[in-house]
Amino acid sequence: MIGRRYTLASLAAIALLAAACSSSDGATPSPTTAPPASVAPPSAAASPSASAEESPSASSASTDYPLAVATVSAGKTLTGEDGKTLYFFKADTKGSGKSTCNADCATNWPPYTLDPDETLKPTSDASGTVTMITRDDGSKQVAYNGWPLYYFKGDAAAGDSNGQNINAFGGIWVIAAP
């Protein structure tokens, strides 16, 4: 009798799980590989210089992330998610497609990365060349005019530029002037 209760409970749980997992049209989606992160043209006007090494995302469910320009105490800078200041690391080599900031450096200076289903949306005033580089860990980092972009752990809010002219991890950090 106890075995029958467990069997009935197991069947009920499987039926509930199957009902919750099935789509409304009854079709079972096949596994796919997510498209690579992409860069969309600037929102106000398409710039011929905006490009990406990766293919544009065809997914309509992608999340858009900004690349805008703002003025902070250190000057005019690019901003990313939540309007936070972005930085260039002068130890990186412009146009190399590589970031030299990894491990502890990347903990203090988080790279501006996109997941495969995310799209970068530059505003018209962020009209430089935007590309995606592949980091040592395989993640995709946004680069602007050949320079990888980073946040600074010490910036708490939009408008902060506490990382300006800091000498750390083998180089100088500066706001990402457009």
pLDDT (tens digit per residue) in 55-87: 333 344 678 889 999 999 999 999 999 999 999
Instruction: Measure the CA–CA gap between 44 and 125, rounded to whole angstroms.
Output: 9
Give the pLDDT score at 90: 98
pLDDT in tens, 110-168: 999 999 889 999 999 999 999 999 999 999 999 999 999 999 999 999 999 999 999 99
Q: Please report which residue ranges of the chain form alpha helices under DSSP H.
A: 2-21, 104-108
Instruction: Measure the CA–CA gap between 24 and 102, rounded to whole angstroms.
Output: 44
pTM to 2 decimal places: 0.69
